[in-house]
Amino acid sequence: MKPDDTLAGEMQRRGVSRRAFLKYGSYIASLMALPPSAVEALAEGLAAARRQSVIWLSFQECTGCTESLTRSYSPTLENLIFDFISLDYHETLMAVSGEAAEEARRAAMAANKGKYIVVVDGSVPMKDGGVYATIGGKTNHQILEDTVKDAFAVVAVGTCAAFGGLPKANPNPTGAVAISTLVAGKPMINISGCPPIPEAMTGALAYILSFGKLPELDHLSRPKAFFGETIHDRCYRRPYYERGEFANAFDDAGARQGHCLFKVGCKGPVTYNSCATTKWNGGVSFPIQSGHGCLGCSEPEFWDQGGFYRPLSTPLGAMGPALAGAALAGAALGVGAALSARSHQKHYLASLDKEKEKE
């Protein structure tokens, strides 16, 4: 008899009952705010799924995304996802290196043609032929094109991959671009964040595994379940904002009393992510709870919003010289207009004098 190669089968062989799938289904449904009726569908879908081949490409990145995803070291609910996927290539995590590693990637691609998922962290440099990041003599762009060609879907993990992130920040010396600009015609998900919330990554993967399709996405291709609401909308400090109670500095009475951090630059109102609800480190806290405003790390161009401590409602860039120049120009134009008006009047007065002379 052929061994059961579904995930349920694998788990059973390890002596784990289907309760695991039910529990995991509950967990994912709760994370993604799916209706309770979806729990069973998720559980059944996962149980019937086969191990998903995943090829993880790292480009211009800091490995923070990988750190975020693999943060926990005990086999728990949160990292059960590693039992559901087959991480066939991941430079940081895999034991082999060099040509053997590349061979593993090619083998996985061949074996799972059209079925494997490519996860990318990091942006791709495009300037000067992409020479700023190469692996085994091939540019990031070449590797990406080559790998994505036969993939089922692409998941851009982290803000660098999703939107360009730090490498793309001004002045963007390497000509870094987001993965989405290079991947056409493939199902594509962005899990932005610097780093992204691990639950958002696992939730999205589990959803794909269970249902065989992408979850509902927003206009930036992010799963709405995790990026549907702003930090501000779900922030526990929101009532302070509504009442007009703010911290004016990080060390003032307002800050100590946990007032809203809007005035010290919190980008919560325009940042879509689930930090305020899912939180970090197993639900311990999130930046605002720790007393620092949201940086807006899951949004495009977040490095270039004029500074992390500049309040959202203030102008970007220096106004002084522009306004001074404008005032001078305005004065000059005003004087000019008045002189022109006076010359009109003089002209008329001269014509009056002529009339008088005639008389």
Partner 1 sequence: MSAACAATETNEPDAGLVGALVSETLARLTLFAETGETTTIDLGGLPMSNRHRAALDDFLGRGEVSASIDVIGRTEVWETQFSGVWRVRHFGDGAIATDLIEIAACPKILCADRRDARLAARGMAEALELNPGIVETPHET
Partner 2 sequence: MELLAFARGPALTFSLAIFVLGVVWRLVGVLALPPWHDYSPPREGAPPNWLAAIRAVFRKMIPHKTFLKDGMFTTINGYVFHFGLAIVVFLFVPHIVLIQSLFGVSWPGLPNGVITGVGGLTAASLLGALAYRLTSPVLKLISRPNDYISWLLTFLPVATGLAATAHVGLRYETMLALHILSVCAFLIWFPFGKLMHAFLFVLSRGATGIRFGHRGAQL
Partner 3 sequence: MTAKTTASGAAYDVQGDRADTERRDAAMQAFVRDFARTAAIHMESCLRCGMCANACHFYVTTGDPKYTPINKLRPFEQAYHRHIGPFAPIYRLFGLKSNVSIEMLQEWESLIYDGCTLCGRCTLACPMGIDISELIKEARHGMYKAGLVPDRLELMDRTAKAWGSPASPSEDFADIIRDAGEEHGVPMNIDLPKADYVVTVAPAELTEHTKALSDVAKILNKIGASWTYSTEGFEASNIGYINGDLPLQEKMTRKIIDNAIRIGAHTLILPECGHAYGAARWEAARWYGKKLPLRIIHMTEFLAELVTSGRIKLKKMGETTCFHDPCQLVRRGGVTEAPRAVLKGLGLDLTEFEDHGELAWCCGGGGGVVSNVRADPLRFKAFSIKRKQVEDAKTQHFVTACGQCRITLTLGAKHDKWDQKVESLLELVADHLED
List contacts with partner 3 (CB under 8 A). Answer: 333-334, 336-338, 340-341, 344-345, 347-349, 351-352
Rounded least distance, CB 143 to partner 2, Å: 28
CB closer to partner 3, 313 vs 340: 340
Distances (CA, A) of 191 to 119, 267, 297: 10, 18, 11
CB closer to partner 3, 1 vs 352: 352
**Given 173, 283, 307, 336, the residue binding partner 1 (CB under 8 A):** 283
Residues in contact with partner 2 by the rule CB under 8 A? 219, 230, 233, 241-244, 246, 262-263, 269-270, 296, 299-302, 304-306, 310-317, 319, 322-323, 325-327, 329-331, 333-335, 337-339, 341-342, 345
Residue 237 interacts, among partner 1, partner 2, partner 3, none and using kind-specific CB cut-offs from 5 to 8 Å, with: partner 1
**Closest CA relative to residue 31, chosen from 42, 46, 15:** 42
**H or E stretch including 157?**
strand 153-157
Beta strand 134-135 pairing with 138-139: antiparallel
CB closer to partner 1, 161 vs 261: 261
What's the rounded Cα separation, in Å, for the pair 222 and 229? Answer: 11
Rounded least distance, CB 345 to partner 3, Å: 5
Question: Which tokens go with 209?
Answer: 């595994």
Question: Which tokens go with 134?
Answer: 């190469």
Residue 349 interacts, among partner 3, partner 1, partner 2, none and using kind-specific CB cut-offs from 5 to 8 Å, with: partner 3
**Given 39, 183, 201, 295, the residue binding partner 1 (CB under 8 A):** 39
Residue 316 interacts, among partner 2, partner 1, partner 3, none and using kind-specific CB cut-offs from 5 to 8 Å, with: partner 2
**Given 10, 33, 145, 175, the residue binding partner 1 (CB under 8 A):** 33
Residue 348 interacts, among partner 2, partner 3, partner 1, none and using kind-specific CB cut-offs from 5 to 8 Å, with: partner 3
Q: In angstroms, how far is CA 199 from the centroid of its own chain?
A: 14
Rounded least distance, CB 320 to partner 3, Å: 25
236 is a site residue for partner 1 (CB under 8 A): yes
Find the helix packing angle between 37-48 and 198-211, rounded to 10°: 70
Residue 344 interacts, among partner 3, partner 1, partner 2, none and using kind-specific CB cut-offs from 5 to 8 Å, with: partner 3
CB closer to partner 2, 75 vs 325: 325
**Given 2, 3, 36, 219, the residue binding partner 1 (CB under 8 A):** 36
What's the rounded Cα separation, in Å, for the pair 33 and 29? Answer: 6
Contact positions with partner 1 (CB under 8 A) in 52-71: none
Residue type, 164: G
Cβ-based neighbours of 328, under 8 Å, separated by 6 or more:
none
Rounded least distance, CB 359 to partner 3, Å: 9
**Helices (H), strands (E): how many in the chain?**
15, 9
What's the rounded Cα separation, in Å, for the pair 305 and 316? Answer: 7
**Closest CA relative to residue 257, chosen from 232, 277, 240, 275:** 240
Burial (0-12, 13-18, 19+ Cβ within 10 Å), 68: buried
CB closer to partner 2, 25 vs 296: 296
**Closest CA relative to residue 223, chosen from 157, 151, 149:** 157
Residue with tokens 């043609």: 113
Contact positions vs partner 1 (CB under 8 A)? 8, 12, 16-20, 22-24, 26-27, 29-31, 33, 36, 39-40, 72, 74-78, 80, 234, 236-237, 239, 255-258, 277, 282-285, 289-291
